[in-house]
Structure 1
Amino acid sequence: MPDRRPEVRLGEYESAELGPDQLTARDLDRLNALQARGCLTLITARAGWRLKAEATVGVLALDRVRLLIEPKFAIPGEQLMTWLAYALHTPVPTAARRWSTAPDGYADLVAAALLEECEKLLREGLRRDYVRHQSLEPVLRGRLDVAAQATRRFGQLDQLHVRTFDREADIWDNRVLGTALKAALGLTTDSRLARSLHGVADAFPDSGTPATALRALERTQYTRLNARYRPAHTWARLLLRGGGVSDLLTDHGTTAGGLLLAMPALWEAVVRRLATDAATPHGGRPVPSNGGTGITVRGDLGSTSTFRPDLLLNLPHPGMDHHTLLPIDAKYKRYDRHGVSAGDIHQLLTYSAGYTPAEAPSAVIVHPQPGGYARRTLRIGSPQRGLGVIHVLGIDTHAPPERASAWMRTAYNAAQQPPCRPAR
């Protein structure tokens, strides 16, 4: 059944007042855990509690109320699912409609995306594989379990312990989807969507707990036999982890009983794909920024620390036979309205000093800029010499991601410098 608890609606970076009777002791534990992870801020107010959302959107199902945090800053509601699907390398679902069309916003849209992929799998036919069973049969079927027959039946042949292998749909590829569909039922407020989810969930086997399903997803290897399951598994993982995706987005919702998405982590994933897609046609490729290619700090108290840009690209130099490295960092900040902070300038200068040639140090900041593209160049220098160049790129989040990738291809030319030493 869809959830009918009272709804409290606010946008990211906005605040809402909650009465003292709206939060239980368990709710306070959940909110404090999310506050420790930087998702929100909860402070005591004269009339109860004041809750301030940070760079997190989604639904938070508490005991007595449901918090709905809408995207306000960078990616508008009508584009959130499009950019999320782009970051996840999955097809854009028809559920990628305006945020406001779904009473529960993001949670309903993700549930609808999962439903769409599961319905597609049902139309095509669920994958079946051989499943091993041990059973007691009146006739020989499969292979006789000699050890079990001798120790349990003591030579009697009226019933036989047999081992069989039958092709069934009760395999992990399908079980995780059954678990995710049932989890989605607890998040949606739309009665029609809830009915559809319930109907489709009955066609899938259930793996039991979300933790069991997540462990199975982490072990899943995709081949030509189950490649068509990848989009459905992507949305299932998002739901089961409460808003995070393994190795992509940070999981902030597992203790909250909701579906929360960390927008800075989403933006980092978007920028990594945008920059890679823009560089690939020119022969560029991402390279690791850890291990032997990492920037490390040694000799201080404690363990060795590391500086890692969000993306490090190996780009061919125009007209030359060698490549140069270009560090790129994603910043989920309003750099369309104010200047780049001193901390971010120091960080990017470290990247440029560590990865780019000494005679032409450069780095790139990519930030969201709703409604248009922008490019500006920061030149940092001292009385003795130039210290580096930082290219600040604003990406139009009102446009489709593919258009933004095409615009970034033109921005790479400005970020590349005259001939310099080849990158290793």
Structure 2
Amino acid sequence: MPDRTPVQLGEYESVPLEADQLTPRDVDRLHALQARGCLTLIPDGTGWRLKADATVGVLVLDRVRVVMEPKFAIPGEQLMSWLAYALGTPVPATARRWATGPDSYADLVAAALLEQCERLLREGLRRDYVRRRSVEPVLRGRLDVASQATRRYGQLDQLHVRTFDREADIWDNRVLGSALKAALGLTAGPDLARALHSAAGAFPQAATPAAALRALDRTHYTRLNARYRPAHTWARLLLGGGGVTDLLTDHGTTADGLLLAMPALWEAVVRRLGTEAVGPYGGHAVPGGSGVGITVRGDLGNASTFRPDLLLSFPGHDAAHRTPLPVDAKYKRYDRHGVSAADVHQLLTYSSGYAPADAPITVIVHPQPGGHAQRTLQVRGPKGPLGIIHVLGVDTRTSPERATAWIGSGLR
């Protein structure tokens, strides 16, 4: 990979760029990412000013390598732990402090993939029966009579055969080979690059990254390939699919890089936190999120639908009735300022649509580095109470497991 000028900034921070640091192709790619809400690029005198939004990761452009570090709500040393928790995969050995040098989020994810791939190599790659057609000097498998007659005209010096042998060249391994190759273009550390190159040589590769992603979408895990699930999870991130829904902002068409949308990560974290936290109290998450959601019809354009990030169900006074509890994830620093009027209106709509009339309760869960916190908002109107909003701040400096225990008591 050619040398590129490193550019570092944090969430919601901005940096100036010289006019000659961005090529016209870079400008087009950055504007495409700007349209997705990942960053902002504006002219600044004779150059440019690049501002990161709620996005971290790395962008490999033609002349610069942009590293966006987590600084807003989840400390860098905890990012990989929370990411692994959201993905439901084991915490990798790369769950270390966010590097302030040339390493970045892409290096950490690549190292997590490498760790899983090396484990698979030590255990032995999975093999499965693969059908192949080939021309051999001796008979192996079954003779392809039709091909032999039409292509060799009865000659027997070369035999068209069909074989059915156990091989490692299967999709479970191909997607990992493609992901290891993709990681090489994103990593900055020479030692990591050498290790990735060495591991990539031991895996077959798909024809294109898109083909590997399609194979991942078709993959079903059984006892035969269950051990591949963590490696496939990290591979999906590097190939641009987004192991968590809408987690990645780059799909391979706008820029070479690996970008993590922090609000989407936080939503995934809250969904798992809430689901696991209420289990001991007889609660569970409503399958499918919350059904059809709250629908608005009659306006210009198509009907709009919205729903809470998580809808929990708790045991009621009798076995036949359960109490729903809408939970919304907010990637905002509500430990530093009050809940916005727009969010209050949103949560009141959820309580009206989902919560029982005698208990119009909803929950906001936000990140709060430095300690858990809880407060209660009581919303009243001229005719009496309208709803109760519990605001839970989850300490992102602690482990997800400890946060699960604390949030369980708050949601109960």
Provide TM-score, normalisation by structure 1: 0.93
The one-character-per-residue Cα deviations of 1:184-219 (angstroms, maximum 9, x if unpaired) are 111111111111111111111111321111111111
Give me the whole-angstrom Cα distance separating, in 2, the residues matched to 1:347 and 1:201: 48
Distance 1:160 1:289, change over 3 A: closer
Distance 1:393 1:326, change over 3 A: same
Give me the whole-angstrom Cα distance separating, in 2, the residues matched to 1:400 and 1:319: 36
The one-character-per-residue Cα deviations of 1:101-155 (angstroms, maximum 9, x if unpaired) are 6622211111111110000000000001111110122332211222222222233
Once the two structures are overlaid, the 10-residue window that deviates more, 96-105 or 198-207, is 96-105
Residues 37-116 of structure 1: pairs in structure 2 closer than 5 A: 37-100=36-99, 103-116=102-115
Give me the whole-angstrom Cα distance separating, in 1, the residues matched to 2:282 and 2:62: 53
Give me the whole-angstrom Cα distance separating, in 2, the residues matched to 1:331 and 1:34: 22
Q: Give ranges in structure 2 of 5+ residues lacking alignment.
A: none
1:303, distance to aligned residue in structure 2 (A): 1.9
Distance 1:233 1:373, change over 3 A: same
Amino acid at match of 1:237: R
Tell whether the 8 Å contact from 2:250 to 2:257 is kept in structure 1 after alignment: no
Distance 1:159 1:289, change over 3 A: closer
Q: Aligned residue for 1:421? A: none
Give me the whole-angstrom Cα distance separating, in 2, the residues matched to 1:147 and 1:339: 77
Tell whether the 8 Å contact from 1:317 to 1:323 is kept in structure 2 after alignment: yes
Give me the whole-angstrom Cα distance separating, in 2, the residues matched to 1:175 and 1:71: 32
The one-character-per-residue Cα deviations of 1:230-259 (angstroms, maximum 9, x if unpaired) are 1011111101107x3253524335321011
Give me the whole-angstrom Cα distance separating, in 2, the residues matched to 1:103 and 1:65: 12
1:138 aligns with 2:137: yes
Distance 1:291 1:110, change over 3 A: closer
Amino acid at match of 1:247: T
Amino acid at match of 2:136: E
Tell whether the 8 Å contact from 1:133 to 1:163 is kept in structure 2 after alignment: yes
Q: Aligned residue for 1:417? A: none
Tell whether the 8 Å contact from 2:367 to 2:396 is kept in structure 1 after alignment: yes
Tell whether the 8 Å contact from 2:285 to 2:313 is kept in structure 1 after alignment: yes
Residues 113-132 of structure 1: pairs in structure 2 closer than 5 A: 113-132=112-131
The one-character-per-residue Cα deviations of 1:62-96 (angstroms, maximum 9, x if unpaired) are 10011111001100000000000000000000111
Amino acid at match of 1:249: L
Partner of 1:100: helix, strand, or coil?
coil
Partner of 2:348: helix, strand, or coil?
helix
Partner of 1:177: helix, strand, or coil?
helix
Tell whether the 8 Å contact from 1:75 to 1:397 is kept in structure 2 after alignment: yes
Once the two structures are overlaid, the 10-residue window that deviates more, 142-151 or 68-77, is 142-151
Give me the whole-angstrom Cα distance separating, in 2, the residues matched to 1:50 and 1:247: 30
Distance 1:251 1:384, change over 3 A: same
Amino acid at match of 1:296: T
Q: Aligned residue for 2:189? A: 190
Distance 1:118 1:330, change over 3 A: same
Q: Aligned residue for 1:378? A: 377
Q: Aligned residue for 1:278? A: 277
Structure 1 vs Structure 2 CA RMSD: 1.7
Q: Aligned residue for 1:311? A: 310
Partner of 2:19: helix, strand, or coil?
coil
**% identical equivalent positions:** 73
Partner of 1:27: helix, strand, or coil?
helix
Tell whether the 8 Å contact from 1:13 to 1:55 is kept in structure 2 after alignment: yes
Tell whether the 8 Å contact from 2:247 to 2:261 is kept in structure 1 after alignment: yes
Q: Aligned residue for 1:221? A: 220
Partner of 1:99: helix, strand, or coil?
coil
Provide TM-score, normalisation by structure 2: 0.96
Give me the whole-angstrom Cα distance separating, in 1, the residues matched to 2:376 and 2:334: 13
Once the two structures are overlaid, the 10-residue window that deviates more, 135-144 or 267-276, is 135-144
Once the two structures are overlaid, the 10-residue window that deviates more, 356-365 or 30-39, is 356-365
Q: Aligned residue for 1:388? A: 387
Give me the whole-angstrom Cα distance separating, in 1, the residues matched to 2:238 and 2:205: 15
The one-character-per-residue Cα deviations of 1:295-321 (angstroms, maximum 9, x if unpaired) are 212222322211211111111137876
The one-character-per-residue Cα deviations of 1:372-410 (angstroms, maximum 9, x if unpaired) are 111111111111121111111000000000000000111
Q: Aligned residue for 1:419? A: none
Tell whether the 8 Å contact from 2:248 to 2:259 is kept in structure 1 after alignment: no
Q: Aligned residue for 2:327? A: 328
Distance 1:319 1:375, change over 3 A: farther
Give me the whole-angstrom Cα distance separating, in 1, the residues matched to 2:13 and 2:84: 26
Tell whether the 8 Å contact from 2:147 to 2:160 is kept in structure 1 after alignment: yes
The one-character-per-residue Cα deviations of 1:317-350 (angstroms, maximum 9, x if unpaired) are 3787631111111000111111111111111111
Q: Aligned residue for 1:422? A: none
Tell whether the 8 Å contact from 2:240 to 2:248 is kept in structure 1 after alignment: no
Partner of 1:175: helix, strand, or coil?
helix
Tell whether the 8 Å contact from 1:289 to 1:308 is kept in structure 2 after alignment: no
Partner of 2:389: helix, strand, or coil?
strand
Tell whether the 8 Å contact from 1:4 to 1:189 is kept in structure 2 after alignment: no
Give me the whole-angstrom Cα distance separating, in 1, the residues matched to 2:190 and 2:148: 53
1:251 aligns with 2:249: yes
1:162, distance to aligned residue in structure 2 (A): 1.2
Partner of 2:335: helix, strand, or coil?
coil
Give me the whole-angstrom Cα distance separating, in 2, the residues matched to 1:289 and 1:112: 33
Give me the whole-angstrom Cα distance separating, in 2, the residues matched to 1:391 and 1:165: 61
